[in-house]
Amino acid sequence: MDVEKIANSLKGYDVEVNYVDILSDSFYFEGKKCKLPKSSKNEAIAIRVTKKGKSGTCSSTNVNDWKKCLDTAKKICNLSKKAEYYGIPSKKPYKKVKMFDKKIMDLSLEEMKLMAVSMVNKSKVRVVDASVGRAIGHGKFANSNNIFYESKTAILSSSIDVKKGNSNAYETHSSRRLENFDWVGEKASEMCLKSLKKQKAKTGIYDIFMNYFASSSIFSILSNSFYANNIQQGNSKLINMIDQKIFSDKLNIIDDGLLPHGFLTSSIDSEGTPCQKKILVKNGTVKSYLYDFTTAKKEGKESTGNFKGIGLRPSVFETNFIVKPGKRNSKTILSGFNGVYVNSLVGTHTANPVSGDFSVNTDNAFLVKKGKMTPLKHVMLSGNVFEMLKNIKEISSDVRQENTIKCSPIIFSDVQVIA
């Protein structure tokens, strides 16, 4: 697909083209029985046309008919309303990043199957379902300002859902590097066995030890507040908060689009702006926001390389949202911890991203007294993300990334637990 040709085929208009093809292979399980592999190949193209403050977008999976897609984007552009800050980025130097592990691409289907079977066989309890998959992506970007970028990505992913009696547990792991997934099956069954013989919780205010999945859910609510489009539209609690201390001084956050093998690592974002590393929070003080080309232009600033998708404008998103870890590991912290341990949260999509208010269920919660863990049933947490992040007792040294959030288990003080 000659995206440079497409980007320069429409005189008098600014044109941006994103093309991607993805080859995926997956093994699924019913119990511990491995089913035949599923393979698929998908292609897609997205074209955005801009002229004199007007913009139009079209995307299609019929990549061979790109001329029709380009013509549709042009028509939408001509019919759209004028916006003062539309335009496209100019060419700038970018940094090369480590984001492709050829070993993942070179895996044979038989090797993938053995990896998947080994993970499932590590479970000591009944496997409800499981999967191991691979996706190989090839992307191209070009615009009429002579920006061209080509990339390859490879990702391995796994998940397993296990059950024993009235106890369930779920574990997942994705990586842009070739890894052994045996621990995924082991960890799921270990959590399931720990959760047997659940007792009723008591409503009250507790210190909460949030394991990775739970703490990353909290930060996924917070991250929206740093998007410049939300700031400009009045949909963020961080409006006019630059250089204001509103979080615990233990909290330090960066957004790093150049993190080696990170979940959304890339040399450039989806509109051609070089990705970079940005300090968002330093010792509890807000230091910056995330911008795409449109939101940055509106404030007379430079984009931070955080444009997500060509279909929307503005379209701001985090790359690798990283919380700086602490000094002690989780095992050491838990040995003297008194409170409630929460493995994961259920229903964080219902939280209010503007106010930060939430009321969510938990999976695999435990009452902890000096390291001794008693499983609890029907536990809910209620509170406010911004208030919680003022009350950080300790951040663990353990670090994990399964999505855009890279963070550690965290202890929050004075959280409402509802039985």
Q: Where in the chain is the domain with CATH 3.30.2290.10?
A: 3-191
Q: What would the mean pLDDT of 101-119 be, rounded to a whole number?
A: 96
Query: According to the model, what pLDDT value does residue 261 have?
Result: 96
- Work out the percent of the chain whose per-residue pLDDT is above 90: 94
Output the CATH code of domain 3-191.
Answer: 3.30.2290.10
The pLDDT value recorded for residue 7 is 96
| Contact partners, residue 11, CB within 8 Å, separation at least 6 | none
Coil, helix or strand for 58? strand
Q: Whose structure tokens read 């390859």?
A: 152
pLDDT per residue over 373-404, tens digit each?
999 999 999 999 999 999 999 999 999 999 99
CA distance to 33, 299, 322, 375, per residue, from 29 (Å): 5, 51, 33, 28
| Whether the Cβ atoms of residue 132 and residue 158 lie closer than 8 Å to each other | yes
Half-sphere exposure of 270 (CA within 13 A, CB side): 25
Name the average pLDDT for the chain.
95
Q: Alpha-carbon distance 262 to 402, whole Å?
A: 9
The total of other beta-carbon atoms located within 10 Å of residue 308's CB is: 18
Quick check: 229 pLDDT over 80?
yes
Q: What φ, ψ does residue 350 adopt, rounded to 5°?
A: -90, -5
- Residue 168: both structure tokens together: 């369930």
Nearest residue to 295 via CA among 71, 26, 86: 86
Query: In angstroms, rounded to a whole number, what is the distance separating the alpha carbons of residues 358 and 365?
Result: 17
> H/E element holding 194?
helix 182-194
Phi, psi dihedrals of residue 74, rounded to the nearest 5°: -65, -45
What number is the average pLDDT over the span 190-202? 95
Residue 370: predicted pLDDT: 83
- CA torsion sign, 211 to 216 to 221 to 222? positive
Q: What average pLDDT does the segment 157-170 reach?
A: 96
pLDDT tens for each residue of 317-340: 999 999 999 999 999 999 999 999
Mean pLDDT on 14-30: 96
What average pLDDT does range 36-48 have in this prediction? 95
- In SS3 terms, 294-344 reads as HHHHHCCCCCCCCECCCCCCCCECCCCEEECCCCCCHHHHHCCCEEEEEEE
pLDDT band at 83 (very low <50, low <70, confident <90, very high): confident
For residues 241-252, average pLDDT:
97
The predicted model gives 203-221 an average pLDDT of: 97
pTM: 0.94
Distance between CA 164 and CA 196 in Å, rounded? 8
What pLDDT, on a 0 to 100 scale, did the predictor assign at position 304?
A: 97
- Asked if residue 309 has pLDDT above 90, the reply is no
Q: Where are the alpha helices (DSSP H) in 64-137?
A: 66-79, 102-106, 109-121
H or E element at residue 46: strand 38-51
- pLDDT category at 314 given cuts 50, 70, 90 is confident
pLDDT for 175 equals 96
